[in-house]
Every structure is written in structure tokens, then in C-alpha cells.
Structure 1
């Protein structure tokens, strides 16, 4: 304390670069500032940082001081959307996220966010500009689901900017983002399954489709399945790895979640398909000779032992099988022998998807047309997983068992996707309430 009659000394100004931290009643948090001299216009450079603790604010100040020493510091008001999102991507590299997730993030940032928004200062990004960006995505003809994914990546990146005190609020919280296309999961009916399997007969991936239908495996889990994980005598297979494509390059990786690591019991049809797959693969190995290379011991490989990719399956065997299934449906409609009609048309089926009105050859020299009802639209590899779940539930298999076979992280995911497919559940609930209510006594009003 200063002595009597003596004025207290004025508090000296902190040296440049040391910073100061204080509690702000207005913001109800700690606030720190650091002086970095002046800019080219003589204006003081004094960035401000916010945090719940002194230590949190001090860390931010220390990071800025380090960037200044390295010549990498950019004032928050000058940081562009491109600069921030490139920095954000660096924090998302594996193992912080899975290789496939990071690949999706990078594709969205590089193909959409940076080309359209990258040049703007981060602090000038408002909800009006984001709404215009979302409208542009729709005008480009992108699917509703993909627009939703782009908006989610943008929102996550801007939330990171808020955490770093680069912007005060996230404009994506206010903007009108694209909605998710909540289509009901597409699954095949029993008739469609029969047509599809008949049309897939003899194709290289025939057994792959059969195994997907009978196990509910994700496509990546099946494409990364090694023979060492298959026990044909015990009629089981164990999921412990999968195949993912990162920037178009197939790679073996761990399973998606803890629950994804599971052992699945196989029905007789799946066991028979796997035995046939082993014989077919041995024949391919003999035919390939020195070209054969299957270092991952894959169950479903290409003809020389390498990875089968989803795009390859979509373009070739899946498309051929779907086109064949449409021919079979048309043959049934015209009252012709389905297998004879398929054999007649198979050499002439195009690589592209059949369309309504496409002509097909009928036995006896006739010609018919494909109708909308003949086509199996929106069918992808994940459709077989949905079909597996739907068929089990239609036979009264408990939702928990289905969830375990699918390897969902929780039964709630299975319930959200397929709960409505459980037959008679609502009627059973009403019957149960009726039994309970019979034990209640009510006074006549």
C-alpha cells in the first residue's frame, strides 16, 4: 500500500506481445488481448480472445504469438473462407476421422465450398450469402441428400471458426439449409428377389449378391471379407474388417463401429454360395496364372485376385442383373416363358439402365416393351442390406436380433429405419391394452 500523502503509481502498460486477460461481466467469460503493433495504415493490431478459463484464453494467445514468430499469423478479419476450411481439413485428417469421412469432407470443400465461397472474408459470410449458395447447389441438379451433406460440412467448418473466435456466430445456424431427403429405405419384395437372382445367375458377382441378401453385410464389409473369417463347417462368418475407397483407391480398414465387429450365422443358401465362390475363385486363379495376386485373401475378388470396387459392380454385374430382372418381369406380363425370354435378350441388353418403352424380344419373333412396373428403380448395393432386414422382420424376427446381425451401433438406429416393417405390432399393442383394461373397473357415468 502506498504511504500517507503518496499517490499510487500508475500501472505500467504491458510489453508488446505479452497480452492481458480479464473477466468480462458483459460476456460472462475471460477475455484476453494481445498487442501486435500496427498495420500498414497505422491502425493498432489488437486481437481479442474469449474463454471459460484463464488457461483457455492464454493458450489462444500463445498460439497467435507462435504464428507471429513463424510469420504465419493472419488477423481474423482478413482470414478467407478458403484459408479457414483448408486449416479445418488439416484437423480432420485420419486418424481424427475415418479415411472415407475425410475423403467426403475434402471433396465437398474442394468441389463446392472453396470454388463458390472461398474468396470471401470469413467474417463477411452471412445467412443471405449461404442461402444463395444453397440455391446454387439445387440449380446444379445435385441430389437432395448430397445438398444436405454439403450444408452439414459447411456448418461444421463454420462451427470450428466460432470455437476459434474467428467469427462471433455461425451463419449456417440461421440460413435455410437443404433438408434431408427422408425417403423410406428401398427394399426388394420376394418376387423382385427371385427375379433378380435368376437374372444374376452366371454373373461373376452372383454369389456376392446372394451373400449380401442372406447376411445383411454392408457392401464394404463383404468386399473386404477374407476367407480366414469364414467357417463353412460351422456356417458362420466374422466381420472384423472392411474395404473402403479413398480417392478411388481400395484399402482394407477396421470395422465402422464396435458393434460392427460381429459373428453372423449363415443359412444354407449362403453357405452353398460361398462354397461355389471358392470353387470359382480357384478356377480363376488357375486361369490367371502368374497374374493372380490376392494378398488380402479376399472372398470376393476380381478375376486376378484384386479388389472389386463398388463402381465396377454398379457398371457391370448389378446393371446386367437389374436389366435382366426387368426382362423377366416383362416376360411374365406377356405370358412368355421367363427363362427363355431372358436367354433371348441377354446378348442384346445394353450396359445402361433399361428405360420405360425399351423394346425386348419375345419368343416366337414378337417384340414387347418395358413398362414402369417392370423396372427395379433405386436399387443399389445397400438395398440388399435393407432387404435382409425387411425379410427378417416380416417373418417376426425380433428387432434386437436384426440389429445385431446388421451391426448397428444401437437398436434405436434399427428401429428408426425398419421399425415400421414389424407386422402386427400396432395390433398387438392394442390387444395388450385391451387385456389390461379388462382388469380395470370404471364407474358408470
Structure 2
């Protein structure tokens, strides 16, 4: 038995079946597990008594700091599968976020070398190798960051549950996402797109997106009780999205996303016409109509998949000869139009539902040459001619 210091546990040389020393040393310590409240023991091994005492000292330090004596030996994939069905499912995240995180975990984290790695052997360099691999696969910067976020969050739960002493992902810098100038249309292009969308079942929804900058899920999630056409305003209370093959109506992600938005007179007129058309449809459908109370519905009264509204925008843009129109193009166009029309950035942030004006400034901080020149001309007029 080797000499031991107080609190270091016991250290002894290991022996083979023949009773002779094998050249390896074993250190062993007994302690009360703070998680299970039961007494357990941990062994460490080394080529010398000194090496074992050093390893035992680290174990004692971890125990005294309330950390697990040693990290769990389960694989990363096994832990992520457990996390998906427990902590993630029990969280208060939106259903769409849960579905996104679970999909990213299955696709990018639970497969390959990383998924097969033991949790107790995962190093920051393994996480960095993951980031490199994702970038080489030409995933977008935002997707790479989301995968990082999923792994970091899952391993934080592993630390909480006593499976890890520390989170190796937290030691790796969060992958950056380069801000790019938002693609937007000029007022003339928006007018052309709306002209080519006229006649579509969801024309009023496209007009609403163009006039207010609402997201398509917010437009699809509008109920008639959210609109006050007499006061020319509406309140954004829900967003509609498809999760696991079903349409799910949920509250917006942030408090700022739940907002009141004023409505321009032409938009109010269009919505009144739309309501009359819907009332006519409801009467014609009779008992086959499903009453949902939604502003935009299918011919049977049921909720509309937000993707259908996007298709109308894409088809109208193609007919108008406008390229590179995506899910948020009308939203971006409304924001730029408001800013260049002289609206204060705080008002624009409120209309769009941004959590801060910093986000609005980062995305829409640019102006056209004409707007910049007009602003400087106005400032020059206010300052007058410099006195010699």
C-alpha cells in the first residue's frame, strides 16, 4: 500500500493472477454522491503512485466543487437522443423550434464521428472539427450556428444532470453569422408584383404583407378578432406554422412580436372587400364550411399553410419579371420603404416586431443614394451657409 495524504484515497500497486506486481498502479477513493445521496467509489490508474495521487486529487477537487467524480461514458448520440425526448420536449420553446432543434440533432450531431464519440472524451477540438465539417458541406452560416447552439444546449443539460463536469462546447467560440444586406424591392417593383398577384385567392394576404411587413406565418395566423377595421389597426397575437405535418397556431416568439400595427386606408378597403368575399363563400359552402374565424382560409374555411402565400408571391414575381424573391422579400421591402419614407427607426422596429432597434439598424441600416443625398441636403438647409 502506498503512502497517502489526507483526502487522497488509497493508492496501491496492481498485481497479476500470479500475485506479482504488474507495473500499473491503482488509486481508489470512496465518497458520498451528492446526486444519488449514496456512497460510491471511483478508481483511477497510472504508471506510478505519483500519477495516481495526482488523478485522485482531481477527482477530490471535482467532488468538492459539486461536479461528478467522472464524466459519463455514454456516446454523444445516445445522450442527444435522451435530451431530445426529455429536456427539449419539456422546455417552453415553441413547437417549431423544438422540431428544428430535433431535426438538426438527428441530421448533424447524432451521426458520424461526433455521434460515436464518448461524452467523457469529447473535447473542444472535436466541436471545432464539427464546425469545419459543416462549413465544408457548404451549410449556411446560420445553420452552422444553430447546430452549435443545439449541441451546446444539450450538453448544458448533461452538466446539470451530473454527466459532465463542464461543457466542452462552451469553450469554443460561437460561429459567426455575417450580416448581409436584405434583398428588397423598389416601390415600383412592389406595385408590379401586386398587380400580377391580383386575381389570386390570397391577393389580400400579399397586399397585407407588402403594406405592413408582417411575416407570412403572422399573416396566416390572423383572426378577424385581431382586426379592428373601424379603427384601422390590428394586433399580431399568433403565428401559424407547419410542425410535423400539421398546422400549429402558436404565440409569437417574443413579447415585441406581439404588437399592434396601424393599417393604411387602401389596405383597410382591401380587407373589407376580402371579408365580403369570404362571407359569400361561407354562405355558398353552407354546412361544408369549417368555421375557424381566420382572416385567410381555404375554400372550405380551414387554415391556410403559410407556404401557399409564399407561392403566390413567387408566381407573381416571376410573372412580373422580378428575380430572387424569397420568403421575406416583401417584409424587407416594407421596412426599407418605411425608413426611406422618413419613418423613425423605433417606429419601424415596432411595426416589424423586432426585439430592439439594433436589429432593425443592422438589417436595414443602409439607404439609397437618393435618400442619403436628400437627408444631407435637408441638414445643409438647416445649418445654412457657414460664416467666414
3-state SS, counterpart of residue 250 of structure 2: strand
* Equivalent residue in structure 1 for 2:329, among 383, 386, 389: 383
CA contact (8 A) 1:35 1:47 kept: no
* Equivalent residue in structure 1 for 2:319, among 307, 315, 324: 324
Q: Report the counterpart of residue 302 of structure 1 in structure 2.
A: 298
Q: Report the counterpart of residue 372 of structure 2 in structure 1.
A: 424
1:205-238, Cα deviation, whole Å (9 max, x unpaired):
1110100111122222211111011111221111
CA contact (8 A) 1:49 1:165 kept: no
Deviates more, 1:317-326 or 1:104-113: 317-326
CA contact (8 A) 1:33 1:47 kept: no
Matches within 5 A, 1:11-50: 18-19=32-33, 35-37=39-41, 50=62
Q: Report the counterpart of residue 108 of structure 1 in structure 2.
A: 104
3-state SS, counterpart of residue 258 of structure 1: coil
Q: What is the count of residue pairs matched by the alignment?
A: 346
Q: Report the counterpart of residue 342 of structure 2 in structure 1.
A: 396
1:164-221, Cα deviation, whole Å (9 max, x unpaired):
5644554445658754242211211112202211111101111101001111222222
CA contact (8 A) 2:179 2:363 kept: no
Deviates more, 1:121-130 or 1:382-391: 121-130
The question of 1:277 aligning with 2:277 is answered no
Partner Cα distance (2:224, 2:89) in 1? 31
Partner Cα distance (1:429, 1:174) in 2? 50
Q: Residues 19 and 127 from structure 1, CA distance in 2 versus in 1: closer, same or farther, beyond 3 angstroms?
A: closer
**TM-score of the pair, normalised by structure 1:** 0.66
The question of 1:88 aligning with 2:83 is answered yes
Deviates more, 1:162-171 or 1:107-116: 162-171
1:362-400, Cα deviation, whole Å (9 max, x unpaired):
xxxxxxxxxxxxx420x2232222111110111111111
CA contact (8 A) 1:34 1:47 kept: no
* Equivalent residue in structure 1 for 2:155, among 158, 161, 185: 158
CA contact (8 A) 1:242 1:254 kept: yes
3-state SS, counterpart of residue 376 of structure 1: coil
Q: Residues 431 and 230 from structure 1, CA distance in 2 versus in 1: closer, same or farther, beyond 3 angstroms?
A: closer
Partner Cα distance (2:92, 2:60) in 1? 29
**TM-score of the pair, normalised by structure 2:** 0.75
Matches within 5 A, 1:54-93: 57=66, 76-89=71-84, 90-93=86-89
Long gaps (5+) in structure 2: 1-5, 10-28, 46-55
The question of 1:191 aligning with 2:188 is answered yes
Deviation at 1:282, TM superposition (A): 2.4
CA contact (8 A) 1:94 1:102 kept: no
Deviation at 1:427, TM superposition (A): 6.0
3-state SS, counterpart of residue 403 of structure 1: helix
CA-atom RMSD in angstroms: 3.9
3-state SS, counterpart of residue 241 of structure 2: strand
Q: Report the counterpart of residue 235 of structure 1 in structure 2.
A: 232
- Higher relative contact order, chain-length normalized (CA < 8 Å, sep 6+): 2
Q: Residues 124 and 233 from structure 1, CA distance in 2 versus in 1: closer, same or farther, beyond 3 angstroms?
A: same
CA contact (8 A) 1:399 1:415 kept: yes
Matches within 5 A, 1:297-376: 297-314=293-310, 316-326=311-321, 375-376=322-323
Long gaps (5+) in structure 1: 1-9, 22-31, 65-74, 327-374, 440-445
